[in-house]
Amino acid sequence: MINIRHQVFETNSSSTHSISITSSAYGILETLPCKEGIVYLTGGEFGWEWKKYNDALTKANYAAVFANGNPGMTDMLVSVIKEHTGAKDVKFNLSDSLIDHQSSRLENGDALRAFNSPDSLKDWIFNPESWLFTGNDNEEDPPNFYDVDFGIDYTHQISLEGCDVVEKFESYPTKEQIKDSLKRIAFQHPSCKQYPKSFEIIDYPLFSAGHVLISSFDEMDNNFIKLFRIRPAKMIKDEEFQGYEIYKLLRLQFTIAEI
């Protein structure tokens, strides 16, 4: 799966880690801690959590874990760090480090693009405008999670009744942007986060018992969305599947406002 926002991001199923690489940083690059001429990298655990990093140390540690077991990539990482920092050596202690399974695959992992060349690896690690994003595809990404460009001027925002999370936009959002935004915001809504009986967004017409097609966005043109609790309808003769039945419905108003 490929995610594209302002810059290029690569993501994978299950864990959806992604990176952005830029060579522009207004002439400002970071460096790494160096003790007695040695840079120490201790790796870390990078899982399903939604986090973003642009500091050199976290990105270097991620690169070290990603390259672990591949001598060519590890040699490139050591060479780039030594050249940029002036260090005499780079030492690794990667015990208990991990990148959640599919995001760590060398054939398609998200950090693979950083290892295209020494220059791309340097730009990713040491440029504060280059980013590492972690997350997963079991959840919607948080609103504005990937908006990291310098000097974004937001003009509008979407809010949802009962939720303190909003999403901001650089211009009045399109219908498709509104729909995608409502999915992200609704996932943060208290009613969708309670366990085990949480409400959910249904993004497609769902065949329901009684031959009714339902969707969370039936009333989107009127600034309302619906959250559902559904369950399989009772089986009848020959255990024929009868679709789903709605046993809870939450109708919420959303607002698009200038800021």
Give pLDDT tens digits for 7-41.
Answer: 333 334 467 899 999 987 666 899 999 999 999 99
pLDDT of residue 12: 40
pLDDT at 179: 96
Q: Which residues contact residue 54 at a Cβ distance below 8 angstroms, ignoring those fewer than 6 apart?
A: 128, 129, 130, 131, 132, 148
In terms of pLDDT, which residue wins out, 136 or 223?
Answer: 223
Lowest mean pLDDT among 143-147, 207-211, 253-257: 207-211
Q: Cα separation of 13 and 64, whole Å? A: 22
- Candidates 173, 189, 181; CA nearest to 227 is 189
Per-residue pLDDT tens digits for 47-61: 999 999 999 999 999
Is residue 239 very low, low, confident or very high in pLDDT (cuts 50, 70, 90)? low
**pLDDT value of position 234:** 65
pLDDT of 5 strictly over 60 = no
Round the average pLDDT of the chain to a whole number and report it: 87
Greater pLDDT, 30 or 208:
30
Residues 6 or more apart in contact with residue 69 via CB below 8 angstroms:
none
Residue 1 pLDDT class (50, 70, 90 cuts): very low
**Mean pLDDT computed over 169-194:** 96
**Neighbouring C-beta atoms of residue 64, cutoff 10 Å:** 23
Whether residue 103 has pLDDT greater than 80: no
pLDDT at 214 over 90: no
